[in-house]
Amino acid sequence: MTGSQRYCRLNQSLGEGFWARRHNVRTALSGDATSCHFNRDHQDEDYFVSISVQNSGGADHPAGSGGSTGLSAPQPGRPALLEALAGRRPRRTPVWFMRQAGRSLPEYRALRERAGAPMLDVCLWPQAAAQVTLQPVRRHGVDAAVLFSDIMVPLRLAGVEVRIEPGTGPVLDAPVRDWAQVRRLTAHHYGDADQAGAGPDGRALDGAAGVSAIQAAVRAVVAELGGPGQPGAGASAPRQADRAHSHNRGEPHRASADSGGLSARALAGLAQSRGEAEWTPLLGFGGAPFTLVAYLAEGRPSRDHLAARTLMHADPTAWDTLMTWAAHLTGQFMATQVAAGAAAVQLFDSWAGSLSAADYREKVAPYSALALDVARDAVSPTTGAPAPVIHFATRAGHLLPELHRTGADVVGVDECTDLALAATALGERDDGSGARPVQGNLNPALLAAPWEVLAPAVDACVEAGRAAPAHVFNLGHGVPPSTDPNVLTRVVARVHKSQDWERMALTGWDGQA
């Protein structure tokens, strides 16, 4: 260690970390250190130490902490993401990315090229969907897998003819804009399509087969990621702390090479000994009723959603019928994922930001709440409970007080809204148990910036998240297709190193450089 490197990074067996002056390292390591090794991070000029310290009572505590964290006590063995969604600050900030499974990954592009089929069809291929879902977990070490699917899939399962056009997005040839069209559409229901897509063998899949395919994909992913009751829990869920720093080179995870030669089973045991979960949760998702109806009314993406907003005010009966139908449809889609093993879900409202607060409150929010109620009817076999819900809307800073009233457990914030201010604006939970956790909100455009620009922005986002009782790090929108996957891996590593314990001073040290 050179004289210019004045700090040493200590990562305890519990997954916590803090900064220490070099001359305090010996003091920090006092105790029964059962394991200690150094790894050099050439990118960030840090040193890492993994230690296990036991006090006289045998309980694990970070050295110099006196055994008191000052944080809400996380539950041992529970994934960081689920802890954060429950409003408890985990020992490290969990991170995942919207659209993490998709176009930014070369392995995804290779799979799509081999498949040679439309994306909405591939979403109904269990093996392919499971493989794509797992790709970012293995590559980046994110804290959640996100099912590879699309918000348009439930429309397909109900018999709506919709396709994804490259460069455009969802396109419907028969928009729904009046009562007669609404009545015809809403006669169809989730899973009753005559043809929802084509399987990998080219044969047509009806709606029921499509629902079964989604369930099969979810079960395959959950079996691979582990979880309570799953054989070999955690065997394929790489932990960031155990993969040295090979991901700074963008190499996919290989337990034998990237984890010091440890087997997958040994990695799971190591994570468990640290008080970390040895399994990674799967996130399901669905499109919010307004976003689905906006596509149905416009026929394609729109900047102003004039057709949808016109129907909203011109024919309240048609609007109520269509929005209720869409709420049940997307709620059932999320419930399908939860019942098969998804541990949490996110409701996407891509177009809610185009609405006034009054229109959202009166004409949209009740249907989003209905969709969440339908999703919560399902119990996840992975957790034995209904799934917690994240509600995310773009350009919706003016709607934050309304978004949380839909009953979401966590609100996702886009990059146009200050994360710390959002935590204040969201207010208390409905049950009075405290403030709401937040998710977000790094600007996706920064992923293309030089690292010396991106890294401080990542740190600032983590710091802003401390204004809430818990924070899930994410982008303000989806991962851009042109993103270098190595950059995402570095972002994950940096977020995971930004621990709350870094803010605690060692005995005899005031924390100043």
**Domain chopping of the chain, boundaries:** 80-215+276-493
Those residues of the chain that have pLDDT short of 70 are: 1-76, 229-277, 427-435, 499-513
**For position 430, what pLDDT does the model report?**
62
Q: Is the dihedral of CA 253, 474, 409, 285 positive or negative?
A: negative
Cβ 323 vs Cβ 289: under 8 Å: yes
Residue 169, C-beta contacts closer than 8 angstroms, at least 6 positions apart: 300, 301
**pLDDT tens track for 328-343:** 999 999 999 999 999 9
CATH of domain 80-215+276-493: 3.20.20.210
**What angle separates helix 306-314 from helix 289-298, to the nearest 10 degrees?**
100
Residue 421 burial (C-beta neighbours within 10 Å; 0-12, 13-18, 19+): middle
Helix or strand holding residue 169 (H, E): strand 169-172
Residue with tokens 């992923």: 447
| Residue 183 CA: distances (Å) to CA of 259, 311, 322, 329, 395 | 58, 14, 8, 15, 31
**Whole-angstrom distance, CA of residue 84 vs CA of residue 468:** 10
**For position 436, what pLDDT does the model report?**
83
Task: Concatenate the DSSP letters of all residues of 183-244 into one string.
Answer: HHHTT--TT--S--EE-TTS-EE-HHHHHHHHHHHHHHHHHHH--TT-TTTTTT---GGGST
- Is the link from the previous residue into 441 a cis peptide, with omega within 30 of 0? yes
| Residue 290 CA: distances (Å) to CA of 216, 319, 339 | 28, 10, 24
163 — phi, psi (to 5°)?
Answer: -135, 160
**Whole-angstrom distance, CA of residue 368 vs CA of residue 327:** 7
**Whole-angstrom distance, CA of residue 168 vs CA of residue 490:** 31
**Residue 117's Cα: distance from chain center in Å?**
27
Please report how many Cα atoms fall inside a 13 Å half-sphere around the Cα of residue 169, on the Cβ side: 15
How many distinct helices (H) and strands (E) make up the chain?
19, 15
Task: Concatenate the DSSP letters of all residues of 13-74 into one string.
Answer: TTS-EEEEEGGGHHHHT-S------EEEETTTTEEEEEE--B-TTS-B--TTSTT--SSPPP
Cβ 96 vs Cβ 142: under 8 Å: yes
| Residue 496 CA: distances (Å) to CA of 90, 139, 141, 253, 375 | 11, 15, 10, 17, 30
**Whole-angstrom distance, CA of residue 82 vs CA of residue 461:** 20
**For position 99, what pLDDT does the model report?**
94
Cβ 92 vs Cβ 499: under 8 Å: yes
Cβ 96 vs Cβ 143: under 8 Å: yes
What is the edge-to-edge ordering of all strands in the sheet holding 17-21? 17-21, 7-12, 46-51, 38-41
**Whole-angstrom distance, CA of residue 130 vs CA of residue 47:** 36
**pLDDT tens track for 188-211:** 999 999 999 999 999 999 999 999
**pLDDT tens track for 301-314:** 988 889 999 999 99
Beta bridge partners of 472: 439
